[in-house]
Amino acid sequence: MKSTIRIAIIQPKPYPAYDDPYNIAHALFLLDQCRGKKLDVICFPEYFPFYGEEELSKAAKRLESYIIAGLVEEEDGKFYNTATLFDRSGRILGRQRKRCVGSLERNLFEITPSDGIYPAFTTDFGKIGIPVCIDFWGHPEASIQLARQDVDVIFNPSIFPVLRGHWKYGALVRAFEHFVPIVGVNTASFNAIFKGRKIHHFGGHSFVISPPKLFDKEHFRRWLRGLDTIESWVQRELEDFECVEIVEVDLKTCREYRLAFKERFGFPK
């Protein structure tokens, strides 16, 4: 398994209607900026590009990267808000359906809540979890389930027009509880249209949260003794506008020191 992975956070400015088919073309345009970057994971936010399984499958194969996309899945006449994971060959490795579905999603897209099960998906570099939006930062259950499966990194595709600060601090709590890296991905700020009404979405501030890289047990002990705040765990935080940001995420530190960290603070192992 890899000790470090390269990821691309894609923070797009969507077209005003969430289900606008132009969002597929825009997603492919943004994916073109990932060519030649030797990425392990490319992550889009919640509900973006909404559709486009075939196009994203081809892109994952072309880029030889895992892709996480916000897609609406239909099964037996029901619709689900999913984080859909494509592997490097373009195959759908799995879907994470959203459990905590808001009134806007129910009324606008007839989204059905999931069963509340959060699997860890096995990749060629380790295990990942992909709980959607409030399922992760708003409730502890998703991170608890994923921690029990020894997940290596958690991706949290979201749409955050409000509570962006709470999102980050909620993710910091989860990272501290489970000593696991977190990648939160939002849309950029944009003007959304709901039933003919224009509503401005304050977006941006996607982030990577992770403990600093530690080199040996003595380094770990010195760092732990001086630990006063975890603000420094925010390794990267983006601004409001559209961008493709490439970040390296250290998995080795958390794998090696997770049990020792939890033992120190009395967290369940």
- Residue 201 — pLDDT band, cuts 50, 70, 90? confident
Q: What is the pTM of this model?
A: 0.96
* pLDDT at res. 265: 87
- How far is residue 118 from each of residues 41, 92, 134, 239, measured CA to CA in Å? 19, 16, 13, 30
pLDDT in tens, 108-119: 889 999 999 999
**Domains, the chain, ordered by start:** 4-265 (3.60.110.10)
- What amino acid occupies position 217? K
The contacts of residue 75 (CB under 8 Å, 6+ apart) are none
- Angle made by CA atoms 249, 229, 152, in degrees to the nearest 5: 30
| 254 pLDDT more than 70 | yes
74 forms beta bridges with: 79
- Residue 202 — pLDDT band, cuts 50, 70, 90? confident
| 267 pLDDT more than 90 | no
**What's the mean pLDDT when you consider all of the chain?**
94
* pLDDT at res. 164: 66
Strand bridging mode 182-185 / 153-157: parallel
Of 40-44, 56-60, 156-160, where does mean pLDDT reach its minimum? 156-160
- Angle made by CA atoms 251, 231, 11, in degrees to the nearest 5: 65
- Residue 209 — pLDDT band, cuts 50, 70, 90? very high
* pLDDT at res. 199: 79
| 32 pLDDT more than 70 | yes
* pLDDT at res. 72: 97
Report percent pLDDT > 70 for the chain.
99
How far apart (Å, rounded) are the C-alpha atoms in residues 84 and 97?
8
| 102 pLDDT more than 90 | no
pLDDT in tens, 136-171: 988 899 999 999 999 999 999 999 776 667 899 999
